[in-house]
Structure 1
Amino acid sequence: MLKGRYLVLIEDDTLMGSSLVQRLELEGATVTWLRQVVRGIAAVRTPRRPVDAVICDIRLPDGTGEDIFSAVSRSMAPPPFLFITGQGEIDQAVRLLRAGAADYLTKPFDLPTFLQRLSLVMRPDVANDMPPQAGISLLARQVDSLVLAAARHDMPVLIRGQRGLGKARLARRIHELSDRRLAPLVTIDVFRDESGERAIAAALDAASEGTLFVNGIGRLDPAAQRRLMAAIGQVDVRVIGTCGTRIDEKIAAGRFRSDLHCALVANEIVVPPLSQRIEDAVWLAGQMFQAFGPRRQTRLKGLSELALAAIRDHDWPGNGREVRSRLLRAIDAARGEWIYPADLFPEFNLDDREVLTLADARERAERRQILKVLAQTGGQIGEAARLLKVSRTTLWEKMQKLGI
């Protein structure tokens, strides 16, 4: 029943925790067991792999399960939470259900009942059977899982992230996997199209029973925002919006409606930048080479090991768009059978290129390595510190110094 599932257990009672872990692992699940609020938040926010469910005690030594659920929900669409509660905490559990938690169990309970309730709250395990869309890293696969989850419901969705991360492609995928896929997908690109109140009204009519996708929703003018907010829940159209990373600043400045944001952010998908998942930059370059390489008259064998190393060392501030533009240039510029670093990064060839001090070069190298290991561990600072062979405190101080 639980084979291949990844579960996070947050329980401070040693006897109950060890009993649950033993049974869950016998059922085939992989379990991360934590005993504190602060570690529980980190394990759910930046997991080793997409989390299928969180089993969480309400009363913990340094806070409550509600603290964990609230903290996670502020930054992402949370995985299903199954809360464990005592008789005196039922009111709190009911409040959590109203806030979006999946279910709760009161102590004491028997293990067959626990397993049955757990199986009911978990989402279907389809992400691992689908080809990767956002990438192959743990963070990217979590994005893919959230996209699949969004396709199974009909609520508004907000896809948030920097430019060049394929947010529009993810929005189209949600529509294509949803029950509305046979109806129209109408797109308004605020960066290019007319996007005033009349344009929104016309798009809502055209998307009847389908999906309205607003690319750059944070740039809509007040009248268009008002028209869109009035339509949510009132017309038979599913709304998907994309925005950058500074939408909160627009809300604080009064340039974006807080009620519209609340309607969208309940099902938010945050796409991490490529700087946090360098292996996805390598994967993306490989995918693009397969697509664009055959167009060249003189066929190339592929990306050299030196080119792959250069890709891993680059921060990719332009994300996927930069990968595409650099690879297209490299395919045209390559003179041998392989693509080399100078084909991807022509700035390497400049005679007047920047000369770094040893201290600056060391800082850049340390920053790249820390980002690489954090991506490998899904943001787990403790595990990253172990791999880098430094203390957690040392790693944290370096991250602060290097702006990570």
Structure 2
Amino acid sequence: MPHEIPRIGLIEDDPIMGESLQERLSLEGFDVTWWKAGEAALSDRRVKLAELGLMICDIRLPDIGGEEVFRRAAESPGAPPFLFVTAHADIDQAVRLMRAGAGDFVTKPFAMDEFLSRIASAMRPATGTSEAPHLGVSPQMRRIEETLRRLADQRLAVLLSGETGVGKEVAARFLHAVSSRAAHPFVAVNCAAIPADLLESEIFGHERGAFTGAASRHLGYAERAKDGTLFLDEIGELPLALQAKLLRLLEEGIFTRVGGETSLPLKARIVAASNADLASAVERGAFREDLFFRLNALWVELPPLRERIEDIPWLMETLFPADQAMSRGIRGIGSLAEEAALAHPWPGNVRELRNRLQRAAALADGEWIMPRDLFPELGMPAPEDMFPTLAEVRDAAERRQIERALEVTEGQISETSRILGISRTTLWEKMRRLGIPGRD
């Protein structure tokens, strides 16, 4: 996959300087979006701040100052570093912004070579899109993959949230694999699958004679993880008493085996996951607020599969049990099955997709996986329904692509037509013919 073009945001109210900088940076290979006011940049739904490698911002703007732009942008997840352009009179303000976390500043007038050097230094590191995807090909999963790479060697615990089946353990294993702990154990614990009265002993271990049946010392998961990663899945199922001990483990980095007196150091890094809304659990008194805030410091939410349908074809190819299928004479997944998968809401997310593919590979009776193999609950379609006309297939694909683009642009017809590479008139005609309501 080719390298992604670095994206830069430019906020400059001077039309001559703004146009000059946009043209020069474009020639340097950057994808530049230019705004003439701060509010316009902050409210532009077409550009997500997390997708920018750098924001170049004049400190003095006609509506709100560059400092206000920076402080409001910093509230957004994944906000880019800022390179401020300022006059000599504003240097004190620029220095204050550097202390607040901005990237750099340059004073007017400046030499272009120096300016380009400052951009290179302040630019957020490349996302590594030239690498093969591990979690998905959609923009959402690419950003999550990059976020996990940045968090890989942090000491703090990470909280992964998302619906059942979205791939939280897969994300946790990826986080472990790209960290310096990769050569050490990855120990996964499903907190919902272990009886509550055994959970403490399983996580922290126990000494001989700690309770009836404890015939010997038992090392818990926290010890067995050594210098690796301890993954606590479904952490919302932990009993309140055990939550208190986990909080101590996170804050002090020590624990004690059940029945023991010696404090032991935690060497592993903790990654937790939950499909429950922990904030609501805190309000109900089912989850400790202090533990929630401790875990919430590094929080990554994985979106459901229905919100990233670009991943479906990639996942079907990745998860398809090819060896099993080949042994039965199955050549692969048919295009009609892929179309059916793209239209399915996937309430069970990636886990449901994997299970359906495995069942289809085991039971399909043709050379290609068909919709009925993936979705047998829909019944056997009539022969004419199994083979829609090419016009119907084309219309379904166009409708899906137009609806995706409209969602990205929030219904802006001009921007949607630009993304799709067609005129506004053609887009309106296709929307009318396909029954897609206009939102402009």
Q: Distance in 2 between matches of 1:19 and 1:300?
A: 58
Q: Which residue of 1 aligns with 2:245?
A: 227
Counterpart AA for 1:253 = R
Q: Which residue of 2 aligns with 1:301?
A: 331
> Does residue 64 of the first structure (1) align with residue 82 of the second (2)?
no
Kept in 2: contact 1:214–1:240 (CA 8 A): yes
Kept in 2: contact 1:85–1:104 (CA 8 A): no
Kept in 2: contact 1:5–1:52 (CA 8 A): no
Q: 1:286 to 1:204 in 2, by over 3 A?
A: same
Q: Which residue of 2 aligns with 1:346?
A: 376
Q: Distance in 2 between matches of 1:370 and 1:39?
A: 28
Kept in 2: contact 1:159–1:271 (CA 8 A): yes
Counterpart AA for 1:285 = M
Kept in 1: contact 2:12–2:34 (CA 8 A): no
Q: Distance in 1 between matches of 2:59 and 2:285?
A: 36
Kept in 1: contact 2:234–2:275 (CA 8 A): yes
- Aligned residue for 1:164, secondary structure, equals coil
Kept in 2: contact 1:326–1:344 (CA 8 A): yes
Q: 1:385 to 1:237 in 2, by over 3 A?
A: farther
Cα distance, 1:169 vs. partner? 1.0
Cα distance, 1:223 vs. partner? 3.0
Deviations 1:313-342 (CA, angstroms, capped at 9, x unpaired): 112121111111222222233222111111
Q: Distance in 1 between matches of 2:409 and 2:60?
A: 24
Q: Distance in 1 between matches of 2:83 and 2:195?
A: 47
Q: Distance in 2 between matches of 1:51 and 1:187?
A: 35
Q: Which residue of 2 aligns with 1:140?
A: 141
Cα distance, 1:226 vs. partner? 2.6
- Aligned residue for 2:408, secondary structure, equals coil
Q: 1:108 to 1:239 in 2, by over 3 A?
A: farther
Counterpart AA for 1:379 = V
Kept in 2: contact 1:277–1:375 (CA 8 A): no
> Does residue 285 of the first structure (1) align with residue 303 of the second (2)?
no
1:268-283 correspondence runs (5 A): 268-283=299-314
Q: Which has the larger radius of gyration?
A: 2
- Aligned residue for 2:270, secondary structure, equals strand
Deviations 1:9-66 (CA, angstroms, capped at 9, x unpaired): 1514244543443333232222233442543576226x7xx54344455666366321
Say what the alpha-carbon RMSD is for the aligned residues.
Answer: 3.7
* The 10-residue stretch of structure 1 (371-380 or 30-39) with the greater mean CA deviation from structure 2: 371-380
Q: Which residue of 2 aligns with 1:361?
A: none
TM-score by length of 2: 0.70
Q: Distance in 2 between matches of 1:266 and 1:59?
A: 33
Cα distance, 1:174 vs. partner? 1.0
Kept in 2: contact 1:139–1:375 (CA 8 A): no
Q: Distance in 2 between matches of 1:220 and 1:398?
A: 47
TM-score by length of 1: 0.76
Cα distance, 1:218 vs. partner? 2.8
Q: Which residue of 1 aligns with 2:157?
A: 156
Q: 1:59 to 1:327 in 2, by over 3 A?
A: farther
Cα distance, 1:373 vs. partner? 5.0
Deviations 1:120-158 (CA, angstroms, capped at 9, x unpaired): 344543622321122222222222222222224443222
Q: Which residue of 1 aligns with 2:408?
A: 379
Q: Distance in 2 between matches of 1:109 and 1:253?
A: 58
Q: 1:298 to 1:181 in 2, by over 3 A?
A: closer
- Aligned residue for 1:171, secondary structure, equals helix
Q: Which residue of 2 aligns with 1:393?
A: none
Kept in 1: contact 2:94–2:105 (CA 8 A): no
> Does residue 244 of the first structure (1) align with residue 275 of the second (2)?
yes
Kept in 2: contact 1:293–1:300 (CA 8 A): no
* The 10-residue stretch of structure 1 (271-280 or 8-17) with the greater mean CA deviation from structure 2: 8-17
Q: 1:234 to 1:331 in 2, by over 3 A?
A: same
Deviations 1:288-319 (CA, angstroms, capped at 9, x unpaired): 22x34535532112222211211121121211
1:3-402 correspondence runs (5 A): 4-13=4-13, 14-34=15-35, 35=37, 36-40=40-44, 43-44=47-48, 50-56=51-57, 61=63, 64-70=69-75, 72-73=76-77, 78-84=78-84, 87=90, 89-90=93-94, 93-94=97-98, 96-97=100-101, 103-105=103-105, 107-108=107-108, 110=110, 111-125=112-126, 127-193=128-194, 196-201=199-204, 202-232=220-250, 234-235=252-253, 236-244=267-275, 246-289=277-320, 291-292=321-322, 294-295=324-325, 297-349=327-379, 379-381=408-410, 382=412, 383-384=415-416, 389=427
Q: 1:330 to 1:16 in 2, by over 3 A?
A: same
Q: Which residue of 2 aligns with 1:354?
A: none
Q: Distance in 2 between matches of 1:243 and 1:59?
A: 45
Q: Distance in 1 between matches of 2:247 and 2:17?
A: 46
Q: Distance in 1 between matches of 2:398 and 2:246?
A: 44
Q: Distance in 2 between matches of 1:218 and 1:274?
A: 22
Kept in 1: contact 2:325–2:361 (CA 8 A): no
Q: Distance in 2 between matches of 1:120 and 1:194?
A: 53
- Unmatched 5+ stretches in structure 2: 205-219, 254-266, 382-394, 429-435
Kept in 2: contact 1:85–1:93 (CA 8 A): no
Kept in 1: contact 2:230–2:270 (CA 8 A): yes
Q: 1:38 to 1:194 in 2, by over 3 A?
A: farther
Of the two structures, which has the highest relative contact order with CA contacts closer than 8 Å and spacing of 6 or more?
1
Q: Distance in 2 between matches of 1:109 and 1:190?
A: 60
Q: Distance in 2 between matches of 1:84 and 1:214?
A: 42
Q: Distance in 1 between matches of 2:438 and 2:240?
A: 39
Q: Percent identity?
A: 29
Cα distance, 1:175 vs. partner? 0.9
Counterpart AA for 1:64 = V
